[in-house]
Structure 1
Amino acid sequence: MMELGIGMFGDLQIDSQTGNIQPAKQRLQEIIEEIKLMDEVGVDFFGMGEHHRADYAVAAPEIVLAAAATVTNRIKLGSAVSVLSSSDPVKLYQDFATVDLISNGRAEIMAGRGSFIESFPLFGYDLKDYSSLFEEKLDLLLRINNSQTVNWTGKHRASLINQTIYPRAVNDKLPIWIAVGGTTESVIRAGRLGLPVMFAIIGGSPINFKPLFEVYEQAYKDNGHDMSKYQVGVHMHSFFGENSKEIADWYYPYYSAQMNRIGAFRGWPPYQRTQYDYGRSNHGHLIVGDVNESVDKILQLHETFGLTRFSAHTDLGSPDHSKMMKAIELYGNQIIPKVKDALK
């Protein structure tokens, strides 16, 4: 059965007239309230992103998840993503093992290279080592996850000689997912290691990702991993309302403003309503609409890719908290049950 969850980056609202940024304190408190509601309405998992910028509230997902663990009972709690390249794998495991203990075994790590680069100079890393940092640190994180006592040598941090890592997760090991944006190298690595993979489909047409899913599945099989443990998911920009046109029109200013802020750093042209409308079509990457539209599109993705997990990224542009709560209610009370009934 496919799991259906929500991912957030902790976007802060920015006033289009004044440029004033929402206080992080306010947004963090809203996020905890939103996760509590997710737990109550039956959302399967929650993922929290990591950013080190003025327009995001969350630099340490594990702290938000630890807080959420105390007000929830069943929802899985993970990162989305932890920027492994600029993190210390020892501390990352310890932090998430602590969340796992607080939550009674509900913590996960989703490791990625990150789409922003602020964490590299912040923590003293060189961007020229972008790929080697991730590969080396992933190796160490997996060693720690698989064994209490670690012997390890690399080039980007000090060696570990008979070091025992505490605390340990509830079942000693944490679920570790790999987040990928679309590079074949990343997909093959995840398949070779037998790690579940989350594809970020945040532009264009999802069907274009089909070859990467096939490459991942082949690498997974070729390396002898158990297909009964095969897990693959998508992370997609989403927002839900009772009326399709009304929610699409309401959400567009938030979405386009954030796309333009990100685009300004990356040299993208101004975001257009035509892109948004195409994204909402059957062929596009956006799931922004009413309950039935959203159910149909999620089921279409499941059929296309054989998904075991779907993550709705619902806070891009930081839509109003009240609308977020309504979207979560619709997702948990109507969309998720309809999807799961259709897959029985």
Structure 2
Amino acid sequence: MTGRHFELGLNSFGDVASDGDGMLSDAETVRLLIEEVQLAEDVGLDIFSVGEHYREGQVDSASAVLLAAMSGVTDRIRLGTAVTVLSTNDPVRLFHEFSTLDAASNGRAQLVLGRASATESFPLFGYEIAEYEHLFEEKLELFLQLRRGGPTTWSGSTRPALTGQTLHPRLSEGGIPTWIGVGGSPDSVVRAARHGLPLMMAIIGGKPQRFSGNVQLYERALDQFGHAPQPIGQHSLGLVAPTDDEARELWWESWQPVVKTIASERGFYAPTRERYAMELDTGALFVGSPETVARKIATVAQDLHLSRFDLKYDLLGLSKAARAQTIDLFGREVAPMVNDLLTKEAPHA
């Protein structure tokens, strides 16, 4: 990382925001996201990514459409996903959507592909959760074949066969940068290495350094499969404010009810103040002043061999003002500070 630019971006799951009068509507939140990507570009961030969910309170169910709207109001910032649930997508349709986005945005489209941590798309689109692994593996093989370009001949069990099919619009040389998103599964790490694809680690709880074993596995597997080293990224949640105290209180107000709901659904830990403090100090929440957040990012970047860090800045009910403040401070203050710390090989915070 020393001497070269470390990439910093924002992730949104389309979480509905609030203002002084209460919660925004879904449509207002969609329009807010288009405003926020403009701010992200203005403050110099590298990439803005949108997830894919089908839950109450989230409006990212058509990420390709949303990213296309964003491409029309930006010029430089790259536009990606965080993540696309490939298992319940048609690879041919996905290719068409993102080759079109790539053309419209002048080569700024990116993808992070994943199996899904939230599985609402399986019943919604008529897929069996029992086919979770098979669907992803087969569809990934097809998508990567399509991405390479040229006539495609393919057959499998997850969609109709293709015989010498050429898709349009064609991709420019190099194709769409495609990452594999993982939540900690060693099998997923090895899959990314087998295909020679960059690795995006979703680290949303606990000490980020516990993923160091996955990083070592990935780097060894890349070498064993005969691939060159690939970028490693991290996705985590957080908020930036002028002071640590302000940031911590702002995030707690929205984070606590969200985690309480998730905990009841998935058996996660209860969102106590004590556990919250632990996540802030040594865990996966990047919440604080610009200096606090920058030093924490620089530390994990060194420990996990990262070349990219994406901050999920939106959270259900978080105010428009807090979101805008995070974007502004993350781009104007955190990003240059992180690059400065990494260039100087600063000691861990």
Give the alignment's TM-score, normalised by structure 1. Answer: 0.95
Q: Distance in 2 between matches of 1:318 and 1:186?
A: 32
Alignment partner, residue 242 of structure 1: 242
* In the alignment, structure 1 residue 194 sits paired with structure 2 residue 196: yes
Kindly indicate whether the alpha-carbon contact (under 8 Å) linking 1:48 and 1:65 is maintained by their aligned counterparts in 2.
Answer: yes
In the alignment, structure 1 residue 274 sits paired with structure 2 residue 274: yes
Query: Map of 1:216-295 to 2, 5 A cutoff?
Result: 216-227=218-229, 230-281=230-281, 283-295=282-294
Rounded Cα–Cα distance in structure 2 between residues aligned with 1:288 and 1:269: 19
> Does the 8 A contact of 1:105 with 1:171 survive in 2?
no
Contact 2:237 2:284 in 1 (8 A): yes
| Corresponding residue number in structure 1 for 2:75 | 73
What is the match of residue 347 of structure 2? none
Partner of 1:7: 11
Instruction: Select the residue among 92, 105, 119 that pairs with 1:103.
Output: 105
SS of residue paired to 2:110: strand
Three-state SS of the structure 1 residue aligned to 2:234 is strand
1:151 corresponds in structure 2 to: 153
Aligned-residue Cα RMSD (Å) equals: 1.5
Greater Cα offset, 261-270 or 82-91? 261-270
Preserved CA contact (<8 Å) 2:37 2:48: yes
Are 1:53 and 2:52 matched, yes or no? no
Within the candidate set 208, 211, 227, 1:209 is matched to 211
Distance 2:93 2:248 in 1: 41
* CA displacement, residues 167-213 of structure 1 (integer Å, 9 cap, x when unaligned): 12333611111000000000001011110010001011111111011
Tell me the CA shift for residue 322 of structure 1: 1.4
Q: Is the 8 A contact 1:257 1:317 kept in 2?
A: no
- Counterpart mapping for 1:164-203 below 5 A: 164-171=166-173, 173-203=175-205
1:8–1:318 CA distance, 2 compared to 1 (3 A): farther
Say if 2:347 is the partner of 1:321: no
Q: Which amino acid aligns with 2:327?
A: I
Distance 1:339 1:246, change over 3 A: same
- Equivalent residue number for residue 307 of structure 1: 306
TM-score by length of 2: 0.93
What secondary structure does 2:14 align onto? coil
Counterpart contact for 2:245–2:288, Cα < 8 Å: yes
1:5 partner amino acid:
G
Q: Quick one: distance in 2 between partners of 1:262 and 1:12?
A: 16
| Corresponding residue pairs, total | 337
Inter-partner Cα distance in structure 2 for 1:25 and 1:169? 32
What 5-or-longer segments of structure 2 have no aligned partner?
344-349
2:295–2:341 contact (8 Å) kept in structure 1: no
Shift of 1:149: 1.2
Q: Distance in 1 between matches of 2:17 and 2:80?
A: 23
Equivalent residues of 2:57, 2:316 under 8 A apart: no
Once the two structures are TM-superposed, the CA of residue 264 in structure 1 deviates from its matched residue by 2.5
Asked if structure 1 preserves the Cα contact closer than 8 Å seen for 2:13 and 2:50, the reply is yes
In the superposition, relative to structure 1, how do residues 203 and 22 fare at CA in structure 2: closer, same or farther (>3 Å)?
A: same
Contact kept in structure 1, 2:18 and 2:319, CA below 8 Å: no
Amino acid at match of 1:305: L
Checking the alignment, whether the CA contact within 8 Å between 1:10 and 1:318 is kept in structure 2 is: no
2:93 pairs with one of 91, 101, 105? 91
Mean Cα deviation higher: 161-170 or 234-243: 161-170
Q: Distance in 2 between the 1:14 and 1:331 partners? A: 20
Instruction: Tell me the CA shift for residue 12 of structure 1.
Output: 2.0
Distance in 1 separating the partners of 2:106 and 2:113: 21
| 1:135-164 deviations in Å (ceiling 9; x for gaps) | 000000000001231111111111111111
Distance across 2 between alignment mates of 1:136 and 1:21? 41
Q: What are structure 1's unaligned runs of at least 5 residues?
A: none
> Given residue 238 of structure 1, which amino acid in structure 2 is its aligned partner?
G
Q: Which residue number in structure 1 is paired with residue 30 of structure 2?
A: 28
Residue 269 (structure 1) shift: 4.7
Task: Work out whether residues 18 and 320 of structure 2, in 8 Å CA contact, stay in contact via their aligned partners in 1.
Answer: no
Describe the superposition over 1:118-148 as per-residue Cα deviations: whole angstroms up to 9, x where unpaired. 1111111111100000000000000000123
2:40 corresponds to which letter in structure 1?
M
Amino acid across the alignment from 1:267: G
Following superposition, the deviation at residue 275 of structure 1 comes to 1.5
How many percent identity over aligned positions? 38
Residue pair 1:239, 1:314 contacting (<8 A) in 2 also: yes
SS of 1:302's equivalent? helix
Q: Give 3-state SS (helix, strand or coil) of 2:173's partner.
A: coil
